[in-house]
Amino acid sequence: MKETDILIVGAGPVGLFTVFEAGLLGLNCTLIDNLDKPGGQCAELYPEKPIYDIPGVPFQTAQEHVDALLKQIEPFNYELNLSQRVQLISKDGDYWIVETNQGDKYKTKNIFIAAGAGSFEPRRPANIENPDLLLDKGITYAVRSIDHYKDKEVFIFGGGDSALDWTVELSKVASHVSLVHRRDQFRGAFKTEQEMRELVKKEKVTLYTPHLIDEIIGDEKVSGVKLKNFETLEITEHKADELLFLFGLNKKLGPILDWELELESKKIAVNTSTFETSRKGIFAVGDINHYEGKLDLILCGFHETTLAVQEAYRRIYPGERVPFGYTTSNKKLQKKLGVVD
Ligand code: FAD
């Protein structure tokens, strides 16, 4: 069983920054995430959207933000385990034993739950059996790279902000974009809806309402799609290279609900001095926690985890003063960062 100073559940921005703050104190971390890449919501939901409210960084796309965080933690000792869900926790004296759904076990004095909205999965089209058969072969649930859709015949499904945003954005690179929605009303920003409707007038986008998907066509790769008109029940067949389903996410606290933590507003209650939960040695930082005045913003998560690692240090080195220094001038910190010998 591997031992680690801090076991971090979730490799979103707050989980990643925990590695940095822990590293400055000389603590090592193990990150576990059920997604196949680090970055949490930033990487999964909106990698190419701009973020304007990271202190000192006037503009960064969400993926650039994740890449910068990964760069920032390079000097530190950490392990990143992806595509695994943290499932079980149990107590062993002063330690916690953490087990993943793949049976890997870790021993630690500090669990940091940086699980955001919980483990989340994109909603699939309900009426299609096994839509993931052609996953990444013409079926996608998020835009990881705009280039992927370049010069392709793209069908986007959904009626919210993501569907509208990506219809507008991808129409700039795709050979053609079609937007399919079950009714002719959208839940997204009115301005984006207007932009989309302008593109329809210019024939850069085709709008199918009230429609839903009826069948995916293709063996090795998507080659087309059948759509059903909700009112007339007519089925039409179309050539397609990419089907992008943007029905939102199912967010579930999942196994975290079984860890006997006090909850508030469906999130984990914490005290705001240490961000510890109702159980000693278990901390909750970032979007997953709740306290009076809580805001689901990246910078709030950074603040929370910076304070939480202080308490984690005290649990590992009881009675010792937690070292404090400025990275601008403290030689020990600069050594840890690898910027001086
Ligand atoms: P997340 O980013 O949600 O990461 C949590 C990770 O934990 C996920 O990867 C999940 O898979 C993993 N996980 C959960 N449970 C488990 C488990 N049991 N085992 C293993 N892994 C698990 N914030 C801003 O500050 N500025 C913005 O401009 C901004 N724009 C946004 C735009 C959009 C469209 C959205 C959706 C959000 C935006 N946010 C913005 C909010 C910001 O993305 C979140 O505040 C931030 O991602 C929270 O980070 P986190 O690390 O707490 O959680």
DSSP notation for 208-245: ETTEEEEEEE-SSS--EEEEEETTT--EEEEE-SEEEE
Which residue's CA is minimally distant from atom 23 of ligand 1? 297
| The token pair that represents 25 in the structure block | 């104190």
Which residue's CA is minimally distant from atom 24 of ligand 1? 297
Pocket probe mutation, ligand 1, options 61, 102, 298, max atoms within 8 Å of Cβ: 298
Query: Which amino acid, 195?
Result: E
Look at residue 249 in the predicted model and tell me its pLDDT: 76
Look at residue 144 in the predicted model and tell me its pLDDT: 75
Tell me how far apart the alpha carbons of residues 269 and 276 are, in angstroms, rounded to a whole number: 8
Look at residue 73 in the predicted model and tell me its pLDDT: 98
pLDDT by position in tens, the chain (length 341): 999 999 999 999 999 999 999 999 999 999 999 887 899 999 988 888 999 999 999 999 999 999 999 999 999 989 999 978 899 999 999 999 999 988 999 999 999 999 998 876 788 999 999 999 999 999 999 887 899 999 999 999 999 988 999 999 999 999 999 999 999 999 988 999 999 999 999 999 999 999 999 999 999 999 999 999 999 999 999 999 999 999 987 777 888 989 999 999 889 999 999 999 999 999 999 999 999 999 999 999 999 999 999 999 999 999 999 999 999 999 999 999 999 98
CB-side neighbour CA atoms (13 Å) of 186: 27
Q: Which helix (H) or strand (E) holds 310?
A: helix 298-316
Q: In terms of C-beta density within 10 A (0-12 exposed, 13-18 middle, 19 or more buried), how is residue 111 classed?
A: buried
Look at residue 174 in the predicted model and tell me its pLDDT: 98
Tell me how far apart the alpha carbons of residues 234 and 141 are, in angstroms, rounded to a whole number: 26
Distance 331 CA to ligand 1 centre (A): 33
Distance 12 CA to ligand 1 centre (A): 6
Q: What is the value of pTM for the model shown?
A: 0.76
Distance 35 CA to ligand 1 centre (A): 12
Distance 210 CA to ligand 1 centre (A): 32
Residue pair 196/168 in contact by the 8 Å Cβ criterion: yes
Q: Which atom of ligand 1 is nearest to the CA of 299?
A: 25
Which residue's CA is minimally distant from atom 16 of ligand 1? 119
Look at residue 77 in the predicted model and tell me its pLDDT: 87
Residue pair 211/178 in contact by the 8 Å Cβ criterion: no
Ligand 1 pocket, Cβ-based, cut-off 6 angstroms: 9-15, 32-35, 40-42, 45-46, 51, 53, 85-86, 114-119, 254-256, 286-287, 296-299, 301
Distance 259 CA to ligand 1 centre (A): 21
Pairing mode of beta strands 153-157, 242-245: parallel
Residue pair 43/35 in contact by the 8 Å Cβ criterion: yes
Residue 172 backbone class (left: φ over 0; alpha: ψ -120 to 50; beta: rest): alpha
At a CB cut-off of 8 Å and minimum separation 6, what does 229 contact? 210, 211, 235, 236
Which residue's CA is minimally distant from atom 53 of ligand 1? 116
Distance 178 CA to ligand 1 centre (A): 29
Q: Which atom of ligand 1 is nearest to the CA of 14?
A: 51
Distance 240 CA to ligand 1 centre (A): 32
Look at residue 335 in the predicted model and tell me its pLDDT: 92
Residue 206 bridge partners (DSSP):
178
Which residue's CA is minimally distant from atom 21 of ligand 1? 33
Residue pair 167/181 in contact by the 8 Å Cβ criterion: no
Tell me how far apart the alpha carbons of residues 9 and 12 are, in angstroms, rounded to a whole number: 9
Q: Which atom of ligand 1 is nearest to the CA of 288?
A: 52
